[in-house]
Amino acid sequence: MLREQTSSMKCSQTWAKTSTGEAKEPVENWRRQCVDFRWATRGSPRATPQPFCYACDSLYTVRHILIECLDFQDTRKKYFSVIDLYRLFREVNPSRIVGYLKDLGVYGKI
C-alpha cells in the first residue's frame, strides 16, 4: 500500500527562470519537499515491521542475535563464548560465526 502511495505521488516542480526566460533548475523548495517525504516514509512502521524476539521482549538486532538472546544461548555455546561484539569479531573465527548463523537458520535471511 505504501509503495502504491509513493509511486503515485509526485513532487510539484516550479522551475527557476534565467534572465532570458529559459527554465534553469527546480527551485530549492521542491527538492526539500521530496527529501522530507522520503525521510518521513523511510522509517514508517507500515513499510517494514521490525522483527521482534518474544522470548526476550526486545527487537532483533545483530547484537541481540549474536550475543544476548536467551533462546539461542545453547546453540551459541557450541560456537563461541564471548560477552560482547568487540571480542566476538576480534577473537572468534568468522567461519564459526557463519556456522552459528546457519545453525539458527538465519544465514539465508541476511
pLDDT tens digits for range 56-107:
889 989 999 999 999 999 999 999 999 999 999 999 999 999 999 999 998 8
Structure-derived torsion over alpha carbons of residues 67, 68, 74, 79, reported in degrees to the nearest 10: 0
* 103 shares a domain with 63: yes
* 99 shares a domain with 59: yes
- The sign of the dihedral angle between the CA atoms of 94, 96, 56, 87 is negative
In a domain, 97, yes or no: yes
Which pLDDT does position 80 carry in this prediction? 95
Q: Is the pLDDT of residue 27 over 80?
A: no
CA atoms within 13 Å, Cβ hemisphere of 92 = 23
In a domain, 47, yes or no: no
Which residue range forms the structural domain that includes residue 28? 2-42
Q: Comparing C-alpha atoms, which of 71, 40, 34 is closest to residue 54?
A: 71
* 102 shares a domain with 59: yes
Q: Which amino acid is at 64?
A: H
pLDDT band for position 7 (50/70/90)?
very low
In a domain, 91, yes or no: yes
* 68 shares a domain with 22: no
Which pLDDT does position 21 carry in this prediction? 58
